[in-house]
Structure 1
Amino acid sequence: MIRISLEQHTPAVTVAHVTGDIDLATAEEFREGVAERLASGEVFVLDLGGVTFMGSLGFSVLVETHQETERRNIRWAVVAGEGPIQRPLRVTGLDDVLPIYPSVADALTALTTVDS
């Protein structure tokens, strides 16, 4: 089971808090939740600190999201926390590609201080 709850930080920045396992059964729900953030065109933080497991489909969603945000010039950030997805991000090299921050506060600071 996966849960995505939205928190409006400022009128232009949303934090999507994701909890649960992102696996074969929930990857499409994760993809749809992220797609909604992309469709809004707003700056967003994807907080994965509450994710207890992420399979390859979940990591594919992150790569697709990165490509789409670059194409559409949407600023975003990923918070991986200290949980179980931290190591796979390092091993795959995604931590060098994705805009990853240690906390939601750090991500929000980075996104709100960047000149548009």
Structure 2
Amino acid sequence: MDMQVIKLDENRTCIRLDGRLDAPGADQIGVRFTAAAVAGGHDTIVDLAGVNFLGSMGIRLLISSARALNAKHAKLVLFGAQELVQNVLDQSAVDQIIPVVATEQDALARLGT
């Protein structure tokens, strides 16, 4: 699992993920992801276009980060999921906790910017 952090501005971050977000993938990036998404308490969008598999530990990482951000009055928005990953997000009702949108532009709009 590869992860790239892009600072969009002083209040927003984009995290691009590439690979399998399963137990080993979540383990590999968990600390860095949490540090990038949650530590600063800034709104974060997550690009899932490069994620070809999403497992329960990946879902857990995303939800726990979203909840931690929410406690800091910030938002996490997911975007760009491939069909297989989108199906997992739909079946697990992740969109009830984290906004899931199609494009980066939609994700930024959900942040209110």
Q: Which TM-score band applies after superposition, normalised by the shorter structure?
A: 0.7 to 0.9
Partner of 2:25: 26
| 1:8 correspondence with 2:4 | no
TM-score, normalised relative to structure 2: 0.87
Partner of 2:111: 111
- 2:66/2:75 contact within 8 Å kept: no
Q: How far off is 1:20 after superposition?
A: 0.5
Q: Using the aligned pairs only, state the percent identity.
A: 21
Q: Deviations over 1:79-99 (max 9, x none)?
A: 142342100111111123211
Change in Cα spacing, 1:20 to 1:5, as seen in structure 2 (3 Å) is same
Unaligned runs of 5+ in 2: none
For the residue of structure 1 that corresponds to 2:60, the secondary structure is helix
User: Which structure 2 residues correspond to residues 1-116 of structure 1 after superposition, within 5 A?
Assistant: 2-36=1-35, 37-113=37-113
How well do the aligned residues superpose, as a CA RMSD in angstroms? Answer: 1.6
- 1:5/1:17 contact within 8 Å kept: yes
Query: Could you tell me how far apart the structure 2 residues matched to 1:93 and 1:17 are?
Result: 22
- 2:79/2:103 contact within 8 Å kept: yes
User: Which piece of structure 1 moves more, 29-38 or 43-52?
Assistant: 29-38
- 1:30/1:58 contact within 8 Å kept: no
Query: Could you tell me how far apart the structure 2 residues matched to 1:104 and 1:33 are?
Result: 21
Q: How far off is 1:66 after superposition?
A: 2.2
TM-score, normalised relative to structure 1: 0.85
Unaligned runs of 5+ in 1: none
- 1:52/1:83 contact within 8 Å kept: no
Q: Deviations over 1:19-59 (max 9, x none)?
A: 11112222122322321120011111111111011111001
Query: Could you tell me how far apart the structure 2 residues matched to 1:11 and 1:43 are?
Result: 10
- 2:52/2:82 contact within 8 Å kept: no
Deviating 4+ runs (over 3 angstroms): none
